[in-house]
A and B are shown apart, each in its own frame.
Chain A
Amino acid sequence: MSDETHVLELLPAYALDCLDEAETRLVAEHLTGCHLCRTELRAYQEVTGQLAFVVPEALPAPGLRARLQERIQSLNSTRPQSTRPQSARQPLFGRLKPVGTIIGLVLIIVLLASNILLWQRLNNLEVLAGPLGMRAIALQNTDAAPQASGFVIISADGQNGVLVVDELPSLEADREYQLWLVRGAQSTSGAVFSVDESGYRGMRIEAPESLFAYSAVRVTIEPMGGSAQPAGEEVLNGSLFNP
């Protein structure tokens, strides 16, 4: 691969998270398939980490440690953590890939969606821990789709995810829904989709990076085929970080 096809000149700004959205998307897409650029990026990320050494040292309030423990206890009471070693955790997605990714995804979507919708009714939680370390994040609807519900389900390693939606309104023929992965001011398209008569659809999220790299998701109404940037009305949203 020639240097022209790499994104080496953009990597310093990417490591600082100061690229504009289109360039961020370009770099993220390139990184998925380029070992050389990923290696170079790690070196710039290390620079970014080292710059923290010269920040004036400040002390948080002494009570912050206790607040962290309380928050972890709260998480544990609603999201039991696995005590198995990481090596024993083979992601469900990974195990299904060899026998057919599409079939596996459909099964996962159906089984998890039914379980998670039940869990939500029982617990009204926004983030749930599923089997093998998977996470499910309940999405919030907006006034544009007050009956709609949705979940983002993320594999334990963040490399795979699915979106399940229900009761989204039917759209005009020239419109589709689009899922956005949000990081800072930047939004990356994760899926473009339509729904069936009942407003239901489940699909894989196409992310250039680990899904843990994003802070939130949004679903908007966009022209057929999707938009480069979110411009239409928002129907669902959710935070990927905050339980």
Chain B
Amino acid sequence: MKELKPDDASLIALIAKAQTDALNRLYDRYNRLVFSVALAMLGDHAVAEEVTLDVFVQVWQRASTYRPEQAKVRTWLIAITRHHAIDILRMQKSRVEENIVNWDRVSLHNEPPAHGLEENVQISLQRKHVREALADLPADQREALVLAYFRGYTQSQIAEALKQPLGTIKTRIRLAMQKLKKLLEED
């Protein structure tokens, strides 16, 4: 009989009861995603691995605070990862900029299959949908979004980097996110 895989929220509930097996399963499920986001933002393998460790340690410590009605587990993990990476980015004075991702590179990238067949299909479809939504954005909105998402820039820093008025950047970010929200909700 095929073993039933516990869903993400069930794993978090087990982690809240100090079940290390559940943490291992969650790690196996999401370590690539967490590490990939950290690496894309920080551009350094060693630092990205430390962030990955810290994220799962935080999950271990904070599992009882997770509220499934507020966010999917994946969204929660990404939020923890990004907050942690942004903390590091904003403390760093120099970075390995060439390794930091932008969505133009992303759109050309083909990842090898890494999960089960069914999961791969689902992830591929989701990736395609998000890429299409991003491609639908005007280039200037996408550019502002990249600086916020991957480099942890504030809107003021983006305005300075792009030599644009702050109000223009605020509008670009807002319109980009509103459009993405609409497009992704239609999924």
Contacts and interface: CB of A to CB of B under 8 A. Distances in A.
Contact of A51 (B149, B155, B156): B149
A184 to B, nearest CB: 5
A184 B174 contact: no
A104 interface: no
A76 B65 CA distance: 18
A17 B83 contact: yes
A64 B52 contact: yes
Nearest to A13: B173
Contact of A56 (B60, B101, B174): B101
Contacts of A81: 18, 60
Contacts of A20: 154-156
B52 A49 contact: no
A184 B181 contact: no
Interface residues of A, number: 60
Interface in A142-157: 156-157
A110 interface: no
Sorting the interface of chain B by its residue count into under 10, 10 to 19, 20 to 34 or 35 or more gives 35 or more
B175 to A, nearest CB: 9
B71 A46 contact: yes
Contact of B174 (A12, A50, A68): A12
A43 B185 contact: yes
B23 A72 contact: yes
28 contacts: A12-B174, A12-B177, A13-B148, A17-B152, A18-B153, A19-B155, A43-B181, A47-B177, A49-B72, A50-B126, A52-B36, A54-B106, A55-B37, A56-B105, A58-B39, A59-B114, A60-B45, A60-B52, A61-B49, A64-B49, A64-B53, A72-B60, A83-B18, A86-B16, A156-B64, A156-B65, A158-B65, A242-B54
Interface of B: 13, 16-18, 20, 23-24, 27-28, 31-33, 35-37, 39-40, 45, 48-49, 52-54, 56-58, 60-62, 64-65, 70-72, 74-75, 78-79, 82-84, 86-87, 90, 101, 103, 105-107, 109, 111-112, 114, 123, 126-127, 130-131, 134, 145, 148-149, 152-156, 158, 170, 173-174, 176-178, 180-181, 184-185
